[in-house]
Structure 1
Amino acid sequence: MDINTLLVRKLPWLSLTVLFAAYTTFSAFLTHETVTWLAWVIVLAFTVFQALLLTTLFDGLKMLLARWLKSDVGYFTLIMLFSLGVTIVFLWFRVFGYILVLIASEVLARLDLQNAGFNRFQALIILSIFSLTGLAVGWAASLRLLPLI
């Protein structure tokens, strides 16, 4: 068996399909809400940042937070950011629901990729491909460029 066949058989297809579907529906939601190009840039940055955070940046973020929370200023800032986040959740509950599904599906796919034996870089590439492809398919289907909807 060659490496490509082994890679395709080893992929956790169910969780990657859920990830793809989550990003497709979120993209269709954004297209129907007629958001600006700035929102699309933020969504693309969020997509890449989330894949980076779940694969390569997690250990560094953990160390940074542990060092940062040793002071009272760090705890105060965390409480203020948490309260701001709760306010944003209540104001944009519909969008937050989509974001929560995106995070959950990406965490599931990352854990399945880790259990399948993929390293961090491979997981980053696979998560990014499925996420960005889901965004593109949802956008194209919403604009009737693809006959999916």
Structure 2
Amino acid sequence: MKKIPWLSLTILLVAYMTVGWVLSASPWYILLLAIALILLLAEILAAPFSNVRKALVYSFSTDTRGFILIISIAFFATVLAIWIHIVAHTLVLLAAGLLARLDMLTARFTDWQAFSVLSFVSLAGFGLGWAAHHLAAIGL
């Protein structure tokens, strides 16, 4: 029986609840994009690091790819500096996700189990935050 890392999963849940609360007033397509990004982040965190390393090595395998990657990183760094309020939420989500993933690695969860748990907890937190905001708005 694997020991479930309750503390780190609770931190992840609360982090996604705050994001769900903040994004609850957004249009439906922003919510769909947020759900897709939540699943993407869970997949990135659950993927073996050897796959990430292979992707980075492939990105720098030619000068042209390296140049395009560096220009893209500079562009995204500028965008992130302009939207610092979004970056703060993203960094909190990333830190909470990494903590949960590290605890799951320590508990010897498989990649598929880690993805499932990260996805479920993240989507549940996002949904709870969204629902709490709407319930607070109608006065319940």
Same fold, judged at TM 0.5 (above) = yes
Partners of 2:69 and 2:51 lie apart in 1 by 18
Q: Give the unaligned 5+ runs of structure 1.
A: 1-5
Q: Which residue of structure 1 lines up, in the alignment, with residue 88 of structure 2?
A: 97
Q: Equivalent residue of 2:135, what SS? A: coil
After superposition, residues 19-98 of structure 1 pair within 5 angstroms as 19-31=12-24, 34-56=25-47, 58-98=49-89
Choose 92-101 or 131-140, whichever is displaced more. Answer: 92-101
Q: Which residue of structure 2 lines up, in the alignment, with residue 11 of structure 1?
A: 4
Are the aligned partners of 2:21 and 2:129 in contact in 1 as well (CA < 8 Å)?
yes
Partners of 1:58 and 1:84 lie apart in 2 by 25
Q: TM-score, normalised by structure 2?
A: 0.90
**1:75-124 deviations in Å (ceiling 9; x for gaps):** 21111111111121122111111011001100110000010111111111
Partners of 1:68 and 1:96 lie apart in 2 by 24
Q: Are 1:125 and 2:125 an aligned pair?
A: no
Partners of 2:84 and 2:47 lie apart in 1 by 29
Q: How many residues align?
A: 139
Partners of 1:88 and 1:36 lie apart in 2 by 22
Partners of 2:16 and 2:69 lie apart in 1 by 29
**1:2-44 deviations in Å (ceiling 9; x for gaps):** xxxx45xx1111100000000000110112xx22222111111
Partners of 1:57 and 1:38 lie apart in 2 by 30
Partners of 2:100 and 2:77 lie apart in 1 by 26
Partners of 2:67 and 2:100 lie apart in 1 by 33
Choose 19-28 or 83-92, whichever is displaced more. Answer: 83-92
**% of aligned pairs identical?**
34
Per the TM alignment, residue 57 of structure 1 is displaced from its structure 2 partner at its CA by: 5.9
Q: Give the unaligned 5+ runs of structure 2.
A: none
- Partner amino acid, structure 1, of 2:6: W
- Partner amino acid, structure 2, of 1:114: L
Superposed structure 1 runs of 4+ greater than 6 Å apart: none
Choose 14-23 or 70-79, whichever is displaced more. Answer: 70-79
